Amino acid sequence: MPVNESINLALMLSESGIIDNAVQELMVRPQLMVAAEQNPGIKSAMKNQIMKWRGQVQQRISRVSVEERFLREIELYQQVSQWDPDYFFEHADGVVKKLEGYSSFYFRAKSLLDREHQKHNLMFQSYFCNQWYQALTQSLTEAQLTELEQHKEKLLADLYQRIETMQQMNEVTEAGDEKKAGRLWDMAQAKLTRTDVKSLKTMAAFLKKNRGLQEIAEKLGRMANEVDDPNQARVRSEDLKMVEERSDSVTDDIVGVHESDDLAKLLPNEAMFLAYPELEVVFYKHLVDKRLMNYRMQGAQRKLRKVKAYKRQTKQVEQDKGPFIVCIDASGSMNGFPEQCAKALAYGLMQIALAEERDCYVIMFSTQQITYELTKQDGLREVLNFLSYSFHGGTDLGPVLDKSIALMSSEKYQNADLVVLSDFIAPSQPDAMMKRIQKLKEHKNRFHAVNLSKYGNPELMTIFDHCWSYHPSQLGRLLKWK
């Protein structure tokens, strides 16, 4: 009878390899394999999701054994299996009565007790508990398998949904690198309608038509690497260098005599002990005690050693790129072409953020503020909500700058790019705001402006590191101010 004071049936399923079999079954599903082979980035992201699910489902099914119905039966089983035989015979009927209504072993237990000729057998308690343990194991395994199947069906539904969404996104975006595809997979939980796909196609086509906007987005993506940080100008490096070291194992010179057990360096007179049987024991005793006279050798050996040093970078240091914070003026004056430009540029920055593993936040501001996180798990839904937002209200730049400065002051937003898209028909900011912005610039944060109007306030532009004016006429023109 398997008796264990700390019985742990919770791990039984994982130890049996059934979870690993379920993972393997998922991996060889034809639809998943086809999608994975089409894009290595999707393959890696899909595998990561399944492995993450494996860990989560293992924890969830292990909780099955601590459900009240199983926990109560396991505790009762442990008590009964340790009872004295006489005490067991006296209280066996009560045990069976307690099992009624929630244990699959109830009817089997009742049948065993009905056999009076076996009830008082000294081996009956052991047999009874063994049958109970098997029934309990089977019930728990079935419950865990049911739980596993439910979670597997949910995962499959999610994977198929992501594949469908990725196939729809292939009609919208051009083939990118693996990192971009992997992050897009993470965002692909949202189910896209035909209207959603049409909206994304329209935005992608607008961005492709207005090449100037794409150039601004690409330039913004590169600027995180153009920071000249004097604190990182000197970097620690390791070089391999040939050095000579003194060693007793290198036979360059004989420098003396010492006691040892090295037969290769043995003095000739020590071997004389072996010439006389009565002295042979003395030789072996000296050998064991390392007292044989040996030549002492010394020399120099050459070896490669890593030498640490600091050296100055010949080019600017590669920085950890922070997120994009895109503040979009959603006032009524931005209706029409400026609104399309603002949305298209934000969409382009989102694609760059996906490829560079950066986050991308959009803050719509007018008389109120609405925030969208375009690169989170359900980012595609956020993108669609953002693209469907209608511009109205007035321009109020101060509050959105306050919020952006508060974000960029935290550790998460170091080396961030703040991009303000507006017509900048607004008053200049106070000196206190200018000082706060300057302090953030000193910590590698960058401030950019894209002016979508000919009538922007020039003084307002002075707070930004880089300013672009994008309001092409019929001939089309992109003018970079500085």
Q: Say if residues 136 and 77 touch (Cβ distance below 8 Å).
A: yes
Q: Please state, rounded to an integer, the average pLDDT across all residues of the chain.
A: 78
Q: What is the predicted pLDDT for the residue at 46?
A: 82
Domains by residue range for the chain, with CATH: 9-170 (no CATH), 211-227+318-480 (3.40.50.410), 234-312 (no CATH)
Considering the chain, what percentage of its residues have pLDDT values greater than 90?
A: 3
Give yes or no for residue 396 having a pLDDT over 60. yes
Considering the chain, what percentage of its residues have pLDDT values greater than 70?
A: 77
Out of 119-133, 308-322, 358-372, which region has the weakest mean confidence (pLDDT)? 308-322
Query: Cα dist. 357→26, 196, 376 in Å?
Result: 27, 24, 11
pTM above 0.85, yes or no: no
Q: Using one digit for the tens of pLDDT, what is the confidence trace for 37-95?
A: 777 767 777 888 888 888 888 777 766 655 666 778 888 888 888 888 888 888 888 88
The residue ranking higher by pLDDT, 132 or 162, is 132
Q: Using one digit for the tens of pLDDT, what is the confidence trace for 173-200?
A: 655 555 666 667 767 766 777 788 888 8
